[in-house]
Amino acid sequence: MTPEQQLARFVTALQPKAVPPEAQRITKLVALAALGAGIAGAGEDGIGPLRQLLRQRGGTGQARSLVFGDRLPAIAAAQLGGTMCRALDYCDAMAPGPHIGSALLPAALAAVELRGGCSGAELLAALVVGCEVGARFNLDESQYDGFDPTGVAVGFASTAAACRVLGLDAKQTLNALGLAFNRCGGSFQSNIDGTLAVRVIQGWVAATGIECAQLAAAGLTGPVNFLTGVYGYPHLYGRDRLAPAAVVAGLGTEWRLLRMMFKPYPSCGATQGLTRLVLDLVHDLDLKPEDVARIEIRQPPYSHKLVGHPWRLGDNPRVNAQFSAQYCAANAVVRRGSTLQHFRVDAIGDPAVLALIDRVVTVGDPALDARGHTAVDVDLTLTNGQRHHRELDIAPGFPGNDLSDAQHLARFADCMADAPHPLPPAQGQALLAAIEGLGGLADACELVDLLVA
């Protein structure tokens, strides 16, 4: 088979019993992270207008939206859900930047309702193939070179999951993945400029999964040589440095979804390490804002371009704060923590935080590339002249510095505490139990029931 056919066969033929326990565990954590962030993100900027727009467009009510329970066309339910799940930037991710779960879960759940239900075991299998396919299209920093990794790689994940849930055969799935290839795109300029396009792209990617699966099921075709063709993914996005065979090497035995990371702090993945180091200094030195003369943060150039630009409040303060090394460092000193409440608009404008930001300096240092994607150094100079240096190669939440089960539950609790439409406590506990026992649910629509506030 061609590499493309191998992918399509993997999506359609994977047996749930063939998925190792660790891959199932990571997939459930992806669901927990994305859905918790989606519930908490329901009131963020842009969600209300998007919801209104999608309701005004109308169409057949095929699936319920997360939190609100609106009956919308499945593609619209996926789009709204994906946008909500990414709004807080508190979902899963993978170096160097794709956010898979926030598109995968809304697409898969919309497909479940579009189909009229399926078993929890079948939904879990769909989520596994989606995570794995998305991970296999992930590229390195130089290949993305400013493309938004979510917009480039994650459409394959949502499409694979939708195809699996909807029961497409291998030929239809091949065409759906080819169609998804034509939807790759998006720029990190959205993040740097502090725009709502960051979360809009996530919604588009979720909708892509439903749309491409529906188009393929209706008989529309996509380029079947999207990996091996002269103008395929390895050429256009892999910069001719990606071998098609590498995308499918070890498929079904080597699980790249195990490379998933989960953020302990509600901001960009490139800010996780620096936030940890600054908090360590705060607690070790009992550091107070008035003690700080200067904080210098050194990161690899890829991360620095994304979060090292000069701070500005801007029109979308939450997005700017999520993608600002200066804000994350100053916030950690002033609040002695980093939670969702610290990234609310009123908290971002706190004069105490803004006064410290000018004393935070960021530097892009190519020498740090050799230490890894999340390498970071922090140099603190106190007003009394003392200096302190801290460094970290693997940021918390990334493989090799994994979160504990208690930290995953704390993330979810933080989301529930910050949700504008909170679930009743009993419903929140039932949702946790349903995610943990996903493979045993008689009907995956039960999960959607629990996600409607």
**Tens digit of pLDDT for each residue in 146-170?**
999 999 999 999 999 999 999 999 9
Q: Which residue ranges of the chain lie beneath pLDDT 70? A: none
Q: Are residues 273 and 251 in the same domain?
A: no
CATH of the domain at 20: 1.10.4100.10
Residue 407 in any domain: the answer is yes
Listed residues 344, 369, 392: the one ending a domain: 392
Q: Are residues 155 and 253 in the same domain?
A: yes
Residue 112 CA to residue 443 CA, distance in Å, equals 9
Q: Are residues 276 and 217 in the same domain?
A: no
For position 46, what pLDDT does the model report? 97
Q: Are residues 240 and 316 in the same domain?
A: no
Residue 297 in any domain: the answer is yes
Residue 112 CA to residue 90 CA, distance in Å, equals 24
CA dihedral over 324, 202, 414, 72, signed as positive or negative: positive
Q: Are residues 203 and 245 in the same domain?
A: yes
Residue 49 in any domain: the answer is yes
For position 315, what pLDDT does the model report? 93
Q: Are residues 158 and 212 in the same domain?
A: yes
For position 21, what pLDDT does the model report? 97
> Are the beta carbons of 444 and 122 closer than 8 angstroms?
yes
For position 316, what pLDDT does the model report? 95
For position 364, what pLDDT does the model report? 98
Collapse the DSSP code of 423 into the 3-class scheme (helix H, G, I; strand E, B; otherwise coil) and give the result: coil
For position 365, what pLDDT does the model report? 98
Q: Which domain holds residue 101?
A: 3-264+403-451
Which DSSP state fits 187? Answer: B
For position 73, what pLDDT does the model report? 98
Structurally, the chain folds into a number of domains equal to 2
> Are the beta carbons of 6 and 248 closer than 8 angstroms?
yes
For position 96, what pLDDT does the model report? 97
Listed residues 348, 364, 392: the one ending a domain: 392
Residue 398 in any domain: the answer is no
Q: Which residues pair with 377 in a beta bridge?
A: 298, 391
Listed residues 392, 420, 437: the one ending a domain: 392
Residue 109 CA to residue 34 CA, distance in Å, equals 12
Tokens matching residue 207: 């909708």
Q: Are residues 358 and 410 in the same domain?
A: no
